[in-house]
Amino acid sequence: MKVAILVEDLYEDLELWVPLFRLREAGHAPVLVGPQAGKTYTSKHGYPARADLAAEDARAPDLGGVVIPGGYAPDRMRRHPPMVALVRELHAQGKLVAAICHGGWMLASADVVRGRRCTGFFSIADDLKNAGARFEDAEVVRDGNLVTSRTPDDLPAFCRTLLEVLGA
């Protein structure tokens, strides 16, 4: 199954690469989706990631879900309407929507957390609450198709849970 992993400059290295490799290991086909196909985006620590697909060309029916890594990238991602629309459409289709750390900013911008349980990095708790979420401080929170975690330390639980949602 194809699963989008969103990418933009200043992403958190571990929060992109660990889910990507876990998805591959489980037999899925992760696809890096950025504002522009073929463009290389740089992590907070300078590690490059090349987008396979532009968000405007990504089709929700072709994907099993989306993973949104943190870092400061989500603040940049939500400036691109096609990236926000992709998250919103996947959520509307009941597919996996997974965000870690500051990835919750995209969830707020896509308006997919209203009335839902979620977590994220502590500094965006107010943003998530103001978007209508019921914020919980836990390593992973699953509310149906929505999976959220706080920090790289939560990656084992985050990856385990997103694979459960995908049925892996």
Superfamily of domain 2-166: Class I glutamine amidotransferase (GATase) domain (3.40.50.880)
- Check pLDDT > 80 for residue 168: no
Catalytic residues: 102
Provide the strand spans (E) within 21-145. 29-34, 40-42, 48-50, 53-54, 65-68, 96-100, 117-118, 134-135, 140-143
- Is 28 buried (19+), middle (13-18) or exposed (0-12) by CB count in 10 A? buried
**What tokens does 165 get?**
């949602």
Q: Please, which pLDDT band fits residue 165 given cuts at 50, 70 and 90?
A: very high
* Share of residues in the chain with pLDDT > 90 (%): 99
Q: Evaluate if pTM is beyond 0.85.
A: yes
The pLDDT > 70 percentage for the chain reads 99
pLDDT tens by residue, 43-71 = 999 999 999 999 999 999 999 999 999 99
Backbone dihedral region of 65: left (phi > 0), alpha (psi from -120 to 50 degrees) or beta? left
Each residue's pLDDT tens digit, 75-123: 999 999 999 999 999 999 999 999 999 999 999 999 999 999 999 999 9
What residues does each domain of the chain span? Answer: 2-166
Average pLDDT, the chain: 98
